[in-house]
């Protein structure tokens, strides 16, 4: 086994990511078959076999495996090949150029999720080259369709091919390392749970009339109810994951702030720090169920008071929130019993992935070794990821892009000028390689 030159690995990762970005996998339509062919090319050039799973025309998933001796259950590296659309007018360059400049790779998917995919792919190749005998299989799965909910990707694989991918641990997206957001030490937020998305429809009905009369039409009632809703907030809830998170991030603060953050869940302290925590949107969304108004439909003409109004709400429930409890609170926040509330069932509750597992401990050790001043913490991510499909099968899924991002980097995710540094590509590949070596050797 020859010594790994990590700067060379970073440059290789940057070149590979640049080419990966050039394959336009905007979903819809996705067209991930082209990405599968690209990944197959990388694996074949290293004589690593892989299998293709076609879920629809031009939509496919790819699985590769490094065999272990079977004395421990498999671990899987997971990323999605599809990307969200890019509005070219807002980008400095073509979002699919994959341009390499100023030590960065630019393009849609650089962070979400092709950057993670390239780190995993190169680490996978290095693990194979290491010649080490593994106690567990190491799987690499690239999926379609994450950005549209996973029906042709992870969900489809779990429902149709679970025996092929059955694993104890999954390394997915969902969290990342950041710097300068919570103090000046790097904080690695590893997602171990996620909120449950639920769509809610509100309807008001009644009599409309002529626009020339003072109106109490259903539209007026809807606006009044929505105003009440906008000015109310769902209560903060402090589950186990959130308490662990507060304990870890309190270490980024000096006293007395550190003490306040650590004890923020206690009723007396809560009133002192609630506003401070809520001012950071990502933390606020971890603390409570969120309700976002996404559309209102009503009206037929300027001089007609409408006889109905419909509003759509994008609701994200904490893992522990019960639907009935939430709907009761929603009704009270609207303050009008005549508003009809309809909702789909949220996805079933799945357990958080363990923070005392062999995986989490190995990851923690490797990160602290490579970034000595850093803090590693579990979080429950506000966004939906494919991890839920694997958690529903009993696997422990951990969401982490092992990179150290600034707020400016984070703002490019699903936005304009998405980019990742070559330094982060090198760092992340090394974290994945060393963590899996520790977990599997
Ligand atoms: Zn993603």
Per-residue tokens: 254: 């000096």
- How much is the pLDDT for 410? 92
* 135-178 pLDDT, tens digit each: 999 999 999 999 999 999 999 999 999 999 999 999 999 999 99
* 213-244 pLDDT, tens digit each: 766 889 999 999 999 999 998 998 998 999 99
- Contact between 118 and 427 under an 8 Å Cβ cutoff? The reply is no
Mean pLDDT of the 322-350 span: 93
Report CA(239)–ligand 1 centroid distance (Å): 25
- How much is the pLDDT for 1? 55
Per-residue tokens: 187: 């904080």
Residues lying with their CB under 5 A of ligand 1, a single-atom ion: 112-113, 173
* 368-420 pLDDT, tens digit each: 999 999 999 999 998 889 999 999 999 999 999 999 999 999 999 999 999 99
At residue 58, the 3 state secondary structure works out as coil
In angstroms, the CA 271 to CA 384 distance is: 30
Report CA(308)–ligand 1 centroid distance (Å): 38
- How much is the pLDDT for 231? 94
- Contact between 32 and 41 under an 8 Å Cβ cutoff? The reply is no
Q: What radius of gyration, in Å, describes the C-alpha atoms of the chain?
A: 24
- How much is the pLDDT for 135? 98
- % of the chain at pLDDT higher than 70: 99
Mean pLDDT of the 186-200 span: 94
Mean pLDDT of the 300-312 span: 91
Report CA(81)–ligand 1 centroid distance (Å): 9
In angstroms, the CA 109 to CA 412 distance is: 10
Report CA(296)–ligand 1 centroid distance (Å): 28
Average pLDDT score, the chain:
94
Report CA(211)–ligand 1 centroid distance (Å): 47
Report CA(335)–ligand 1 centroid distance (Å): 37
Per-residue tokens: 253: 């603060």
In angstroms, the CA 323 to CA 341 distance is: 12
Report CA(305)–ligand 1 centroid distance (Å): 43
Per-residue tokens: 312: 């759509």
**pLDDT category, 182, cuts 50, 70, 90?**
confident
Cα distance from N-terminal residue to C-terminal residue, the chain: 15
Report CA(113)–ligand 1 centroid distance (Å): 5
Q: Which of 15-24, 87-96, 266-275 has the lowest mean pLDDT?
A: 266-275
| Domains defined for the chain, CATH in brackets | 6-174+355-370+380-440 (3.40.630.10), 198-234+289-347 (3.30.70.360)
Per-residue tokens: 334: 């609207």
* 201-210 pLDDT, tens digit each: 999 999 888 8
């Amino acid at each position: 086994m020859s010594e790994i030159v990590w700067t060379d690995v970073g440059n290789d990762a940057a070149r590979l990511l640049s080419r990966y970005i050039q394959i336009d996998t905007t979903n819809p339509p996705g067209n991930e078959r082209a990405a599968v062919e690209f990944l197959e090319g990388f694996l074949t050039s290293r004589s690593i076999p892989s299998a293709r799973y076609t879920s629809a025309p031009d939509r496919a998933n790819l699985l590769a495996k490094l065999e272990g001796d079977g004395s421990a259950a498999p671990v899987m590296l997971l990323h999605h090949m599809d990307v969200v659309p890019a509005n070219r007018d807002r980008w400095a360059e073509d979002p699919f150029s994959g341009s390499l400049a100023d030590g960065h790779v630019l393009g849609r998917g650089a962070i979400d999720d092709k950057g993670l995919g390239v780190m995993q792919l190169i680490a996978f190749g290095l693990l194979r080259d290491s010649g080490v005998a593994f106690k567990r299989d190491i799987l690499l799965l690239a999926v379609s369709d994450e950005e549209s909910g996973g029906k042709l990707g992870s969900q489809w694989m779990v429902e149709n091919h679970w025996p092929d991918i059955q694993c104890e641990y999954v390394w997915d997206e969902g969290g990342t390392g950041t710097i300068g957001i919570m103090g000046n030490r790097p904080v690695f937020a590893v997602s171990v749970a996620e909120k449950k998305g639920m769509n809610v429809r509100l309807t008001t009905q009644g009599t409309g009339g002529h626009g020339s009369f003072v109106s109490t039409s259903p539209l007026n009632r809807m606006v009044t109810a929505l105003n009440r809703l906008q000015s109310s907030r769902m209560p903060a809830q402090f589950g186990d994951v959130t308490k662990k998170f507060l304990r870890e991030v309190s270490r980024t603060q000096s006293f007395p702030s550190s003490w306040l953050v650590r004890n923020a869940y206690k009723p007396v302290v809560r009133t002192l720090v609630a506003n401070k925590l809520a001012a950071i949107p990502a933390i606020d969304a971890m603390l409570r169920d969120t309700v976002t108004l996404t559309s209102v439909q009503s009206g037929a003409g300027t001089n007609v008071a409408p006889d109905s109004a419909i509003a759509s709400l994008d609701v994200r429930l904490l893992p522990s929130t019960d639907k009935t409890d939430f709907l009761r609170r929603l009704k009270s926040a609207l303050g009008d019993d005549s508003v009809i509330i309809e909702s789909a069932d949220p996805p079933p509750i799945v357990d958080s992935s363990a923070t005392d597992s062999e995986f989490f401990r190995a990851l923690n050790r490797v990160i602290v070794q490579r970034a000595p001043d850093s803090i590693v913490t579990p979080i429950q991510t506000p966004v939906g990821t494919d991890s839920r499909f694997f958690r529903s099968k009993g696997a422990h899924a951990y969401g982490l892009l092992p990179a150290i991002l600034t707020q400016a980097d984070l703002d490019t995710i699903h936005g304009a000028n998405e980019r990742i540094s070559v330094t982060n590509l090198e760092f992340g590949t090394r974290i994945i390689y060393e963590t899996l070596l520790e977990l599997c050797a």
